[in-house]
A and B are shown apart, each in its own frame.
Chain A
Amino acid sequence: MTSSPVMSYEDRLAGFDWSIAERELSYREGDRINIGWYCTDRICAQGRAGVPALLWEDFSGAERTYTFDDLRVLSNTIADYLRGLGLAPGERICLFMDRVPELYIGFLGILKMGGVAQPLFSAFGPESLHTRLANAGTAAILTQKKHVGKVRKILDQLPDLRHIIVVDAGQGPLQAREVPLALDALPRVESFDAYPSTAETPSVLHYTSGTTGQPKGAQHVHYSLISQYLTAKWALDLRPGDVYWCNADPGWVTGTSYGIIGPWANGVTQVVLDSGFNAERWYRFIEKYRVTVWYSAPTAIRLLMREGAELAHRSDLSSLRHLCSVGEPLNAEAVIWSQQTFGLPFHDTFWQTETGCIVITNFPGMPVRPGSMGRPFPGITATVVDPKTFEPYADFGRVGLIALKPGWPSMMRSYWNNPTAYESKFRNGWYLCGDRSSIDQEGYFWFVGRDDDVINTGGHLVGPFEIESALLEHPAVAESAAVSKPDAINMEVVKAFVTLKTGFAPSPDLELEIMNTIRRRLSPLAMPQEIEFVASLPKTRSGKIVRRVLRAQEWGEPVGDISTLMEE
């Protein structure tokens, strides 16, 4: 690993232009640019074919190792297989798997054959899966035996879905539209002509939740590589020789931008632990693989804090050099704890599915202000605007909406099939993130909260509409409202307020039954951690349920203007 000192934030800012990344990647405007090729073939062509790209381990301790040459050949193999099935460039191909190697290699294979990779969190239930596959008109899905049952349940409602590709089918029976993909058994494809994508060719489709309506698919393009490469290098401080661990699941944008594209475009070795949370196991994992850069999340850090520093000190964590965090605001206590426990602070990074890359960060080499989101990444124009006029505030310390000047390489290009929702994200020439913040005199951003009803639980955004729609399908539920409530570990969790139909009475058993219904249909993230049965819900005179009253009640905040509410 190189030991060159980190350039200061000010030095990075001076004369910054995204062409820095273009030059480093030998890309010129109008050239072909295929992320799958850049993450594999290019690294091999640089003489790093034998460098480990992926060191993988699962909960049982099983291990697999892949070099960059393995990634190159196996992603060729998957690309060739997909093409052989008749899948065409531009078609959406979903990845619906745990963190198995086929997920990472499959992502690159899809991009190489020109498909649009659509990763989805494998804990999604059939209803969440259906919403996203139907909206995208997905043509194929790569999945595992353990998850194929969820696909079978909704298959009749997905006429566009031609292929269900099972990566671990073995000799097991397959049903209609299902085909096996045994990667180890397929002939290795040494040479594959990657699809000649250019800058604006669609690459990845990530679904994200909003306040209203169903989740929206943020569509990215191959040119996003420019931002993802450089932010991984500068904000995550990835260098050749690093061993990098990103805790995020590739079902979410962090897991692709910085769990696949960023590190591998930089030729950095990644480690993946396909396992649920266990603090001791995590520390042993860092020790075993000599992890140098760790990208985690506040919820995980708070879980580690709960287990205590002593547990951390039982493992040799001296390999760690740089720590970052993403997904939700990183509280000051967590930064201070990590400094005391690991001798290093976690650096908060702020970004979203729509931004594709880190946009505000505590930059390496810049003093960390615990509790602050940091400062804008070079090349990102970020400010805080007045929520009514959408003009930037001229003075410091005022709370407004975080706004970004559009135009950086990895910004989403649209919401899939939803131009109206896309356009609604822009005001007065600014892209609005939907978060509130202030800026101090030194330009550090300080997160305040969301500007809408979206629930950020454990770093994942959950839309209330999707939960409420599923709640209403329960036979006992007459009306419902889903809001966030504070949680010491996950920052926020889902709480549902429910009125019952005649003939049903509140009970703990009914609460548990409704919770499990939502968990199975949508996902564990969407499951209300508490259900409060109420006689009625606050509504406007036109009958619209007013979530903000319930949310304020949960957070102990002022309810605000309730003059338009319907009287009981």
Chain B
Amino acid sequence: MDEVQRVIRDYVVKEYLEEGDDREITETTPLISGGIVDSFSMVSLKRFIERKYDIQIPDADASTAAFDNLASISALVERFRKPRA
């Protein structure tokens, strides 16, 4: 798990898991389709990531699939941190 994934995992655990919910969040744990982060809450997760990494993720790229696990979110972050030429 890379640093971005660790940061987002910790945020997800703190913000979206209920107290006593000790599910392990791995790189591939389904967050949206697994019901941990619903599509409404995705807005706050996106906002956190944009603030944390000083990036803007266009709505067109912020799909439920792109936010469905730490690996795909991390890829999204890297993509917008390093704009393609």
Contact indicator A527/B43 (Cβ below 8 Å): yes
Known contacts A149-B18, A509-B51: does B33 contact A527 (CB below 8 Å)?
A: no
User: Chain A contacts of B35 at CB under 8 A?
Assistant: 59, 98, 274-276
Known contacts A146-B21, A512-B48, A512-B51: does B34 contact A59 (CB below 8 Å)?
A: yes
Query: In the assembly, what is the distance between CA of A509 and CA of B15, in Å?
Result: 14
Say how far A298's CB is from chain B's closest CB, in angstroms. Answer: 14
Contact indicator A275/B47 (Cβ below 8 Å): no
A123 interface residue per 8 A CB criterion: yes
Say how far A340's CB is from chain B's closest CB, in angstroms. Answer: 21
B32 interface residue per 8 A CB criterion: yes
Contact indicator B20/A149 (Cβ below 8 Å): yes
User: Chain B contacts of A123 at CB under 8 A?
Assistant: 38
Known contacts A149-B18, A516-B15, A527-B40: does B33 contact A276 (CB below 8 Å)?
A: yes
Known contacts A306-B63, A527-B41, A527-B43: does B18 contact A146 (CB below 8 Å)?
A: yes
**Contact of A278 (CB < 8 Å), options: B38, B40, B65:** B65
A560 interface residue per 8 A CB criterion: no
Contact indicator A525/B30 (Cβ below 8 Å): no
Interface centre among A147, A278, A281 (most CB of B within 10 A): A278
User: Chain A contacts of B51 at CB under 8 A?
Assistant: 508-509, 512
User: Chain B contacts of A519 at CB under 8 A?
Assistant: 40-41, 44
B19 interface residue per 8 A CB criterion: yes
Taking CB as reference atom, which chain B residue is nearest A281? B33
Say how far A274's CB is from chain B's closest CB, in angstroms. Answer: 7
Say how far B84's CB is from chain A's closest CB, in angstroms. Answer: 22
Q: Annotate A510-528 by CB proximity to B: 1 below 8 A, 0 otherwise.
A: 0110011001100011010
Say how far A234's CB is from chain B's closest CB, in angstroms. Answer: 32
Interface centre among B20, B21, B48 (most CB of A within 10 A): B20
Taking CB as reference atom, which chain B residue is nearest A488? B59
Contact indicator A527/B44 (Cβ below 8 Å): yes
Query: In the assembly, what is the distance between CA of A281 and CA of B64, in Å?
Result: 12
Contact indicator A524/B48 (Cβ below 8 Å): no
User: Chain B contacts of A150 at CB under 8 A?
Assistant: 18
A529 interface residue per 8 A CB criterion: yes
**Contact of B40 (CB < 8 Å), options: A509, A511, A520, A525:** A525
User: Chain A contacts of B47 at CB under 8 A?
Assistant: 508, 511-512, 515
16 more contacts with CB within 8 A, not counting A511-B47, A512-B51, are A59-B30, A145-B21, A149-B21, A275-B33, A275-B34, A277-B32, A277-B33, A278-B68, A280-B65, A458-B39, A509-B51, A512-B48, A516-B44, A524-B38, A527-B40, A529-B40
The 3 closest A-B pairs by CB, nearest first: A524-B40, A278-B33, A149-B19
The chain B residues found within 8 Å of chain A, CB to CB, are: 15, 18-21, 30, 32-35, 37-41, 43-44, 47-48, 51, 63-65, 68
